Amino acid sequence: MADRYLSLTGTAPGRFLTRRLGLPQPARLRRWSAERPTLQGRLLHLTAGKSDLDLAPGLALAGLDLDLVPAGSALDLGTENPVAVVLDATGVRDVDTLAEVHAALHPAVRSVAGSGRIVVLGSPPDPADHHQAAVQQGLEGFVRSLGKEIGRGRTVNLVRLTDARAAESTFRFLLSPRSAYVSGQVIEVGGGDGAGAGAGAGSGAGSGEMVAPADWGRPLAGRTALVTGAARGIGEAVAATLARDGARVVCLDVPAAGSDLAAVAGRLGGVALALDITAADAGARIADALPEGLDVLVHNAGITRDRRLVNMPAERWSSVLDVNLASVLRTTDALLTGGTLRPGGRVVATASIAGIAGNAGQTNYAASKAGIVGLVRSLGPRALSEYGVTVNAVAPGFIETRMTAAVPLFIREAGRRMNSLAQGGLPVDVAETTAWFASPGSGAVNGQVVRVCGQSLLGA
C-alpha cells in the first residue's frame, strides 16, 4: 500500500499545505542503489573530551567514499554541508567535558545535509566511576533527543566502543545509505579480539572471528546464508540483500508458499527449501540440506494472531510462540551444537518494537518477540566464546509489507507517522541491518538488538 502522504509532501503545493497545517514532513530517504552505493561529500570529525581512541586510522580504514575533515580543521559551516559527522565523545568523563558535546555539535547541526548521518562515539559506562557512567549514559539521552528534532531524513546514532578498528563494518553501515531507517540507536561494539565492550548486555566475551572482507562490496562472497520466511515480505528482501552481498542463499518457507519461494530462490540464484520451521525435525532437515555447513542463519519467519488476552484461545498463543520463538530456539540449538553453523557464523533473529514497547492485542506476539531479545542477550556471549558465532537481532518498527497493509487505515497512518522520520520503513531497511550483522567484518558486534524503526516513538 503506497504511502500517499509521503508522495503528497514531495510536491511543492503538498509541502506548502502540510506545513501550514503543522503536519509531519517526511523526507524521501536516500537508500542504497547500485549507482549510488555510498554517501558522498564531507565527513566532519569532531571531538569532545580527551580521547584515546585511534579514530583517524579507523575511519581511514573504513575506506568510505567520504572526504574526511579531521578534528581541529576549519570548515566553513556557512557554505559547506557535511554529509556525515562523527563526534568522538569517548573521552567525556564529567559534566564539564559533556559541555564539549554541545560546543562541538551546536554550530554543526544546522549544516548537516539532508539524509546525512551523525554518529556519536561513546565509551562503555564504567561501573567503577559513577561520574563517567553518568555522562556516558547522558550521551544516550542526547542522541535520542537530537534524533527526534533533527529532521530532513537525517539520523543520529550512538556507538559505544573501545577500539575503532573493530567498528569498521559498523561505520560502513551507519555512515552509508544502507542505514536510512536506523536512528536513535545505541550500539555496542566489542574489541577487535572479541574481548567485549564492557558493561551491559551484549558485551561479547570470547574470541569472535572478525575478518575484514576482501571486497567490502561483496562481503558475503563464498558464504552460505539461510533465511526463513523468505517467500515474501521482509524475508524476501533479506535473501535478495544477502545475495547482492555475495552469499549463496537458501530460502526457506512453508510448503504452501512453495511457488513464491521457488520464484524468489530462482531469481536470486539460490536454493528453495520448503519446510515448516515448527516441525520437530526442522533443524535436522536443514542440517541435511547443508552438508557443507552454514555461515549465516536468519530467523525471519513470523506470524501474528492478535486478540486481547481476555479473548485469546490457547491455540492462538501457542501457534505464535511456536513459530516466532520456540522454533528459533530449537533450530539455533540444533545448528550450533550439531556444527552446521561454522566458526565465524552469524545468527540474526527478528524481534519487533512490539516486543519492546508492548502492544494491545499482542500479548502472544510481544512475548515471543521479547523472548528473542532475551535469547540474543543470553546466547550472544556464549555462542561467541564456544562456537565463534555472533547472535544479534533486528527489531523492526512499522515496515511496509502485506502484514502492515492489512492494518486498518487510521492505525496504519499512525504507525507510519509516529517515528522521527515520519514514515514507514521498507523491507530492504531491515535487510540492510541484517546484512551488516551478517558481515564477516561484524565479529565484534554481538548480543545487540537494533531497532529498524525510524526511531519509533513507541518504546523509545
Nearer to ligand NAD, 86 or 265 (CB): 265
Nearer to ligand NAD, 69 or 375 (CB): 375
CA 454 – CA 181 distance, rounded (Å): 5
Nearer to ligand NAD, 106 or 402 (CB): 402
Edge to edge, the sheet with strand 248-253 lists 271-274, 248-253, 224-228, 294-299, 341-350, 390-396, 449-452
Q: How far is CA 251 from the centre of its chain?
A: 21
Q: Three cell numbers at 76?
A: 566553513
Q: Three cell numbers at 33?
A: 542503489
Cβ atoms of residues 160 and 133 within 8 Å: no
Q: Is 52 exposed, middle or buried (0-12, 13-18, 19+ CB in 10 A)?
A: exposed
* Residue 307 CB, nearest approach to ligand NAD (Å): 16
CA 375 – CA 378 distance, rounded (Å): 5
Which listed residue (5, 181, 365, 387) is catalytic? 365
Nearer to ligand NAD, 90 or 327 (CB): 327
Nearer to ligand NAD, 251 or 389 (CB): 251
Nearest to 305 by CA among 258, 257, 348, 354: 354
Nearer to ligand NAD, 9 or 331 (CB): 331
Residues forming beta bridges with residue 228, ordered by sequence position: 252
Q: Is 389 exposed, middle or buried (0-12, 13-18, 19+ CB in 10 A)?
A: buried
Residues forming beta bridges with residue 451, ordered by sequence position: 395
Cβ-based neighbours of 281, under 8 Å, separated by 6 or more: none
Q: Outline where 166-310 has alpha helix (H).
A: 168-174, 233-244, 258-267, 282-289
* Cα dist from 12 to 2, 154, 157, whole Å: 19, 21, 31
Q: Three cell numbers at 236?
A: 524476501
Nearest to 392 by CA among 189, 131, 214, 150: 189
Nearer to ligand NAD, 189 or 431 (CB): 431
Binding site for ligand NAD (CB under 6 A): 228-229, 231-235, 253-254, 257, 276-278, 300-303, 323, 350, 352, 396, 398-399, 401-404
* Residue 353 CB, nearest approach to ligand NAD (Å): 7
Q: Is 365 a catalytic residue?
A: yes
Nearest to 158 by CA among 141, 180, 176: 141
Helix H or strand E segment including 329: helix 327-337
Cβ atoms of residues 290 and 250 within 8 Å: yes
Residue number of the CB atom closest to ligand NAD: 302
CA 145 – CA 291 distance, rounded (Å): 49
Nearer to ligand NAD, 257 or 297 (CB): 257
Neighbours of 314 (CB within 10 A): 7
* Residue 276 CB, nearest approach to ligand NAD (Å): 5
Nearer to ligand NAD, 85 or 323 (CB): 323
Q: Which residues are catalytic?
A: 365
